[in-house]
Chains A and B, each alone.
Chain A
Amino acid sequence: MSSFLPAHGALFLANAVTLAPVDYAILLIYVAFVLGIGFALKRYMKTSADFLTSGRSIPAWVTGLAFLSANLGALELVGMTASGAKYGIATCYFYWVGAIPAMIFLAVFMMPFYYGSKARSVPEYLKLRFDERTRCLNSISFAVMTVFASGISMNALAKLLHQLLGWNYDVSLWICSAIVLAYVLKGGLTSAIYTEVLQFFMIVLGFAPIVYLGLQDVGGWEHLKVLLGGVAQNPAALELNTNTFQPDAWTSAWKPLIGGPTQNPMGVDLFAMLFGLGFVLGFGYWCTNFLVVQRAMAARNMSAARRTPLIAAVPKMIFPILVILPGMIAVGLAVTGKDGYRLPPKPLAAAEYARALPAIKAAAAMDAKAAFESVTAATGMKMNPAKVSALVRDAATLDEATMRNQLQDAVVENDYDGVILSLVKKYCPPGLLGLALTGLLASFMSGMAGNVTAFNTVWTYDLYQAYIAKNKSDEHYATMGRAITVVGILLSIACAYLVSRWSNAMDIIQLVFGFVNAPLFATFLLGMFWKRTTSHGAFFGLLSGISTSALFHALTTSSGNALGIKGGYLWAWAGKTLAELPVRFSFPSDMAQNFWLASFAFLVCFFITLGISLVTARTKNDEELAGLVYSLTPKIVDREESWYMRPSVIAVILLFFCFVLNIIFW
């Protein structure tokens, strides 16, 4: 099935768990229900709009939870827990700074234009506001991004099933994709939205007990803070970071940030955090990413559409308890070494075993130092000298399985993406195991469903209908919508294989957002709130923003990464080495690099759009822009609703609570 791609081989499986019948039952019931929902919705799928945009008929609480769930793919559970372990409570920036304000802005200021303009997608709004060029650029980049995001999700899922249950990677990938395909094909966007809500509850109800048990085990929040205080002063002991920090670096959100990039494990500065993540990336993602905006646009009326992001903001604010706290708990457990717990080591692949096992046997004849170097070279990873020499010493008497086991344990590099799994394995007896595992499975599958449903809409309406086959019957587009769903799934699978070699899914997604979304928010901001913005300005501004992203990434790198892999490829191409790179092109962490990249791309897009708009003539007059631009659209009066239902009132209350959270974890 995957002969054209590198073999994943049999990863080391001694740590795999065996599912009990009760776990299989829960897993199967979930699959049955999502397929059942798809089939139950089939009879409502008549037109292309039913299939691709849900015919704008869904209540706000459903779109609200789906809005949140659409963002709960590989990114959320695995990535945020990984970051929770790596950076501690600072990961909450992604919620309290990078998400809540942007979600509120979308609801209060932007939703009226998306929903009110009758555009069916974000790129279509761009066409109505500007022209075909901007729409084309946006829809192509968006289509590529959704396919990648979907692939990342499915790769993480297949890897998880492989490592945890010992299932075959390829089989897991194809079967899970087939299930997603089946229910999306039957029920379209509605199916994706409904299963996203189901998945939301699965995640919450599946992971809450694990967090509770973990927190009990580690001795409660206050004791965890004490433990992490010790970790912060010597994070190298757990291979978390090469620097040392103040004791509160893992347990306080803002103090380490204010101290500058050397004072916090993320290695970011205040400006990059507030402007890069909080403003550019946060608003770029939540306000212009069709994947999430599509959920709100499926709501049954304007008021429901505007409440969608606000409803989503409530669970989003408290989600760190479920996704970041477990990472911190894992670090706390690892530092005490309770019950032999350690952060999961980076898994060795079959090829690495194949090189390392003969190296171990050959090393018996060498002295200790040469033996260690030879084994380390064979695995290509940082190893524990004591464990390696013990292994070399005992090699003659051990069977192969034990050798693999010990070799894997001797790897000191952490596999952060495996943290959440290590906790599931540690705390879940059969029964709860099935529930937690199904929650994970659900989150990855709906990550794929969400992206594929956004992809098929953009393809059908913004690329196919706009450029390839205009003026066909609705039936024609409905058929195309279904056909492209299949293509989207296949492309995702190809991307899953592609990303299966990259370790930290989170950083990759951030990078993709940086390229595509960072400049985009400047285009929307100017387009929606300044009627003078012209089509030329928008197009060339966006183009230069995206080029800036690419150039910035080509020129800069972050510490710990070789040139040419995560940035800096222009230097690598010119034959330079890392040491020759001017110091200002090197960032303390890839997170900082991403945030600065986003900031630059946004500013370039903003000022080029502004400049070109001032010198070019408007192509659309005030009448054409009514409903698309703030100053030319009648204000929405929500007086007919009770005061506590008005978006602006809810927005202020949410902002207040978000502010309080930041103060509590100051």
Chain B
Amino acid sequence: MGLDLRKPIGYFFLLLGVILTGQGLLTRGAAMYAKSLGININLIWGIVLIVFGLLMLIPALLRKGGGGK
């Protein structure tokens, strides 16, 4: 199949990561983090998602036209 799945997955999690990180930055110290035991989980997990998205995306973009392994 011509569509390399790593690209949509990469873009998807990159986008979610950016949104979550943004939300985390905007709401630093907000009362809602009492739920997540005082941890700004949006910021931390947003960064994790960005890293995951890039891990998927970069190899796919480097290998032009290649599909999977």
Contact = CB atoms under 8 A, between A and B. Distances in A.
B69 A60 contact: yes
B54 interface: no
A57 B1 contact: yes
A7 B52 CA distance: 44
A41 interface: yes
Interface string B23-66: 11001001011011101011001101100100000000000000
A61 B9 CA distance: 13
A379 B59 CA distance: 58
B9 A198 contact: yes
B contact patch SS = helix
B59 to A, nearest CB: 12
A201 B42 CA distance: 17
Given A37-B8, A41-B1, A201-B9, A429 B52 contact: no
Contact of B36 (A54, A197, A201, A428): A428
Q: What is the interface residue range for chain B against chain A?
A: 20 to 34
B9 A209 contact: no
Contacts of A287: none
A190 B20 contact: no
Interface string A25-62: 11001100100110011001000000000110111111
Interface residues of A, number: 37
A194 interface: yes
B8 A198 contact: yes
B68 A62 contact: yes
A546 to B, nearest CB: 37
Interface stretch (A143-151, A430-438, A624-632): A430-438
A590 to B, nearest CB: 36
Contacts of A41: 1, 3
B13 A435 contact: no
A213 interface: yes
A201 B13 contact: yes
Contacts of A354: none
B33 to A, nearest CB: 6
A216 interface: yes
Contact of B68 (A22, A61, A426, A430): A61
A432 B20 contact: yes
A432 B37 CA distance: 13
A40 B1 CA distance: 11
Contacts of B68: 58-62
A-B CB proximity, top 6 nearest: A59-B68, A431-B42, A431-B23, A429-B32, A22-B23, A57-B1
Interface of B: 1-3, 5, 8-9, 12-13, 15-16, 19-20, 23-24, 27, 30, 32-33, 35-37, 39, 41-42, 45-46, 48-49, 52, 67-69
Interface of A: 22, 25-26, 29-30, 33, 36-37, 40-41, 44, 54-55, 57-62, 190, 194, 197-198, 201, 205, 209, 213, 216-217, 426-432, 435
Given A41-B1, A205-B52, A430-B32, 10 more contacts: A29-B15, A40-B8, A58-B68, A194-B5, A197-B5, A198-B9, A209-B36, A428-B35, A431-B23, A432-B20
22 contacts: A22-B19, A29-B15, A29-B19, A36-B8, A41-B3, A58-B1, A59-B67, A60-B68, A61-B69, A62-B5, A62-B68, A190-B1, A194-B5, A197-B9, A201-B9, A205-B52, A213-B37, A427-B36, A428-B35, A431-B19, A431-B24, A432-B36
